[in-house]
Amino acid sequence: MNDSSHIRQEIEAHLQRQRCYQEGGYTRSVSKRLDRLARLAEVLKSYEPDIMVALRQDLNKSELESYTTELGIVLEEIRHIRRRLRRWVKPRKVKTALTHVGSKGYIVPEPYGTVLIIAPWNYPFQLAVSPLVGAIAAGNTVVLKPSELAPAMSALLKRVLGEVFSEDEVVVLEGGVEVSTALLEQKFDYIFFTGSVNVGRIVMEAASKHLTPVTLELGGKSPCIVHYDADVKLAARRIAFGKFTNAGQTCVAPDYLWVHKDIKEELLSELKIAVQSFYGERPLQHPDYGRIVSRRHFDRLVSFTGNGRIVMGGDSDEELLKIEPTVIDQVTWDMPMMKEEIFGPVFPVMEYDSLDQVIQGVRSHPKPLALYLFSESRSVQQQVTESLSFGGGTINDTLMHLATPYLPFGGVGESGMGSYHGYESFKTFSHEKSVLVQTTRFDFTFRYPSSKHALKIMKKLLK
């Protein structure tokens, strides 16, 4: 038996066990779901040192960054959902139409069944466990495929989740493309994918063969706009944080910068100050500055520095796989760095005279996953948010819309479909089943073919 056949058989066996577990009704108990989530939070806290070590090994993340962008977000997600889950699972009564007098209508959330979660490498803990929390809260069983590009975290997830869940409930399948390919050949009840646009297309095509619903959390070129009335010093600090956290390997990182010509030089100067305050004069030597995940991504990012005018950074270390926070001015749309999502610490800059120029530029490209605007003007804020379509964003900050469970997170157009976090996670992994309970106390005979005045009565009712 070859490796691919063995992988396929292993996956089919896991799916069979999870479907039997589902059909046995073991995931229906809300109390059991709450217990599992409580146990998950407890175990994650006990493994905090191991999580920090794994993230350091895979991406050189500091403990502060690892907690705030990975573990802390997940623990808050669990806390938020556990406090509200009993309310969310209750059937919701809806209004009765005039034609349905005497009946009662309900929307009943139920689990999809067995779901596949494919996680990326850039936030290998948070982007694996956060959707898992939603799937468990909704009563599903889960097959989780972590990224092989974050091997330390992949192995740790298998160990940690194995302490909380039986493989009938959650199974972690490690491996590379061959495992992902074999998984996508199977019929799941739902697929949740986080990753690149190109792979997202492959996932959607595979899901379509089984008519499996999907959530795609993708990416794109997320613009950051700094208007002339912005608090430039504060904007620079918050932009540097959003762009260079995790060495820019963040799906909602500002991808490129639009800055008003009147404040461009001041903003570039403040960006240098902000980066130096974060990572010192030699970021490549800073122990907490992130590294690029692989040589392939490193080489791609370094190639971008050959265009435009470097105004900050530009150095790299191929042994450490580190690239300095790099800002490039005099950028045009026809340059390679503007034709794809950068996903690294390279920051192109374009200047503008009027907001119309910015709006037209953003509209002429695929809808971004995120958008950031720095301006004190309410009218400018309204103009930008109403004129442009994007997955989500923040005004006068970066990244922070991602970190609240009260806001749905997701893309639009090529940047993704579907959303999650908080209640949206529960909704994403739940099918909302419609149920009508009809009265037997009386019967409207005009609906039957034998009624002589049925058409006249129906026209009056539906007018």
Q: Which residues are catalytic?
A: 217, 251
C-alpha distances in angstroms, 232 versus 169, 207, 240, 242, 360? 50, 46, 12, 15, 24
Q: CA 51, CA 160: separation in Å to the nearest integer?
A: 10
- Name the nearest CA neighbour of 118 among 204, 7, 246: 204
8-state DSSP, 69:
I
220 phi and psi, to 5 degrees? 130, -175
437 CB burial (10 A radius; 0-12, 13-18, 19+): exposed
Cα angle 79, 421, 143; round to 5 = 90
Instruction: Name residue 143's amino acid.
Output: V
> Is the CA virtual torsion 254, 259, 265, 266 positive or negative?
negative
DSSP, collapsed to helix, strand or coil, labels residue 204 as helix
Residues in the chain: 463
Q: CA 14, CA 31: separation in Å to the nearest integer?
A: 25
How many C-beta neighbours within 10 Å does residue 302 have? 17
Q: CA 241, CA 238: separation in Å to the nearest integer?
A: 5
C-alpha distances in angstroms, 284 versus 141, 153, 288, 407, 443? 43, 24, 9, 35, 78
